[in-house]
Amino acid sequence: MSDMKTGLVVSAHSADFVWRAGGAIALHTAAGMQVTVICLSYGERGESAKLWRQKGMTLDRVKTSRQAEAQKAAGLLGVHDIQFWDLGDYPLNLTEAALFRLADVFRAIHPSFLLTHSKEDLYNHDHPAATDFAQHARILGQAHGYKPEQKVSGSPPVYLFEPHQPEQCNWKPDVLLKIDSVWDKKRAAIECMEGQEHLWEYYTRVAQQRGAQAARNSDDPCTWGEGYQRVFPHVTGTLA
């Protein structure tokens, strides 16, 4: 393992990391961090309606298209490693083998943080399934009895990114991330997701709203932001 800091993003579908965490990814990669993105699914059933409206569309073509979009977006955001696990969609098929595979990712990269989905989502059950899966793997990576010959993972903070309708998902941001310096990268990455073009302006408005909230809670001007909800307490030696 190198001394370079790393981050891990577990995305239920191939577009989720772009809408919800593209700014955080771009900020940290610009600072020299290596960020790994795990796409558990291509979103081929529930998040590819535009593609399925095309005559003669097939499942393999949908997957190929969504992977190409996500790879292009990841390149713009500076992602170090993007992986497509193809675990199904609506529902995700989160097997024990996949759990051990993700635990091995924690052990391999020792991330400084984990970004993943909200704990609840009435509109997409794959999302809370993904966050439960990711946090289970985090715990397994910390277990001394799992592959005891390896160094155990640390205790990376877990940040839950914003669901599509937060008021329906019991999600409340307690971290507002200023992304002004990388907003152009995030917007360009958003526009890579051609299969869900209807969401481009929606997530632009979300970024503006979080930016406005950040500006009201800070002395620094802010136009563009992302919201996150912490899972674990923030440990600090000072409140200043």
Residues 33-53 have pLDDT tens digits of: 999 999 999 999 999 999 999
For the residues 228-234, what does the mean pLDDT come to? 97
Instruction: Examine residue 238 and state whether it is found in any structural domain, yes or no.
Output: no
For the residues 225-232, what does the mean pLDDT come to? 98
Structure confidence at residue 4 (pLDDT): 87
Does the pLDDT value for residue 1 go beyond 50? no
Q: What percent of the chain has pLDDT over 70?
A: 99
Does the pLDDT value for residue 17 go beyond 50? yes
Residues 83-102 have pLDDT tens digits of: 999 999 999 999 999 999 99
Instruction: Examine residue 148 and state whether it is found in any structural domain, yes or no.
Output: yes
Instruction: Examine residue 86 and state whether it is found in any structural domain, yes or no.
Output: yes
* DSSP-derived secondary structure letter, 196: G
Instruction: Examine residue 240 and state whether it is found in any structural domain, yes or no.
Output: no
Give me the domain span that covers residue 108.
6-230
- Residue 78: pLDDT band with limits 50, 70, 90: very high
Give the number of other CB atoms < 10 A from CB of residue 63: 20
Does the pLDDT value for residue 2 go beyond 80? no
For the residues 139-151, what does the mean pLDDT come to? 97
For the residues 207-234, what does the mean pLDDT come to? 96
Rg of the Cα atoms in the chain: 17
Instruction: Examine residue 236 and state whether it is found in any structural domain, yes or no.
Output: no
Q: What percent of the chain has pLDDT over 90?
A: 98
**Average pLDDT over the chain, rounded to whole?**
96
Does the pLDDT value for residue 214 go beyond 60? yes
Instruction: Examine residue 34 and state whether it is found in any structural domain, yes or no.
Output: yes
For the residues 162-167, what does the mean pLDDT come to? 95
Q: Find the CATH number of the domain harbouring 101.
A: 3.40.50.10320
Does the pLDDT value for residue 29 go beyond 60? yes
Instruction: Examine residue 1 and state whether it is found in any structural domain, yes or no.
Output: no
Domain count within the chain: 1
The DSSP annotation for the chain comes to --SS-EEEEEESSTTHHHHHHHHHHHHHHHTT-EEEEEES---TTTS-HHHHTSTT--HHHHHHHHHHHHHHHHHHHT-SEEEE----SSS----HHHHHHHHHHHHHH--S-EEE--S--TT-THHHHHHHHHHHHHHHHH-TTSSTTSPPP----EEEEPPSSGGGTT---SEEEE-GGGHHHHHHHHTT-GGGGGGHHHHHHHHHHHHHHHHHTSSS--S-EEEEEESSPPP-S---
